[in-house]
Amino acid sequence: FYSKFPNIQVAVDANRKNGIENLLQVLNKPDVILLDDAYQHRKVKAGFYILLTAYDDLFCDDYILPFGNLREPSSGKKRADMIIVTKCPNDLSEIAQQKIREKLKVKQQVFFTTIKYDDYVFGNESQLLVSEIQSESKVLVAGIAKPKLFFDFLKNETDETLVFPDHHHFSKQDCEQILAKANGRKIITTEKDFVRLNGLLPKAQLFYLPIKSTFLNTNIDKTIEDYVGQSSRNS
């Protein structure tokens, strides 16, 4: 994350409260602190909560662990100031969006994002057109929670895939398995996994596909800017 945004402060602390307190003690303390995956972190009370839910796995269709993937009852949606439905089809219509809003049964603003893939895959030594790599035989490697979209975008009938757990730290044995599977072919992975695999696999073979989330709505920036501006005036 820091390699992509070198001009911002990045802090890592499993204890979010402790991490925030340390950030606020530095000389150049931040005006805004953005937390990742902290919706259930009750020791911290945020000024603005954003709840993410996947288009193909809406929280209203899910159950609490261990029967489902929810960490708390869906009634926890009430704490959110904004809800974002992620990984939507890029042609999701306004009518379809409204149906999802009604299904979620929320009063907050609901926004929608879609995944946009880059036109190139990148390695340490070169970059290749996605259109070329899609037709080439290769190995696809992913250590993310739901790699299906990644695989579906790149995969052809000659490709092989290797799936590892989310946030996986690759061992020597893992790398040997990947290299054996590749057998000289290119290895394409996610940007997150590239950071972990870089230096462990041959540079000439290893590439990653950048992705970004794009909002289907146009007024999301104003909503965030209004909150940040109001918060700054009140601080």
Same domain for 189 and 202, yes or no, is yes
Q: How many CB atoms lie within 10 A of CB 208?
A: 21
How many structural domains is the chain composed of? 2
Same domain for 146 and 225, yes or no, is no
Distance CA(77)–CA(60), nearest Å, equals 10
The single residue listed with the structure tokens 């996610």 is 190
Same domain for 203 and 138, yes or no, is yes
Q: Could you tell me if residue 25 is inside a domain?
A: no
Same domain for 97 and 138, yes or no, is no
Same domain for 140 and 67, yes or no, is no
Distance CA(43)–CA(4), nearest Å, equals 29
Q: What is the pLDDT of residues 142-168, one digit of tens each?
A: 999 889 999 999 999 999 999 999 989
Same domain for 76 and 124, yes or no, is no
Distance CA(43)–CA(46), nearest Å, equals 10
Q: Could you tell me if residue 128 is inside a domain?
A: yes
Q: Which domain holds residue 229?
A: 47-116+214-234
Q: What is the pLDDT of residues 47-97, one digit of tens each?
A: 999 999 999 999 999 999 999 989 999 999 999 999 999 999 999 999 999
Q: Please check whether residue 59 is in contact with residue 74, taking contact to mean a CB–CB distance below 8 angstroms.
A: yes
pTM of this structure: 0.84
Q: What is the pLDDT of residues 26-38, one digit of tens each?
A: 888 998 899 988 8
Q: Please check whether residue 130 is in contact with residue 120, taking contact to mean a CB–CB distance below 8 angstroms.
A: yes
Q: Could you tell me if residue 56 is inside a domain?
A: yes
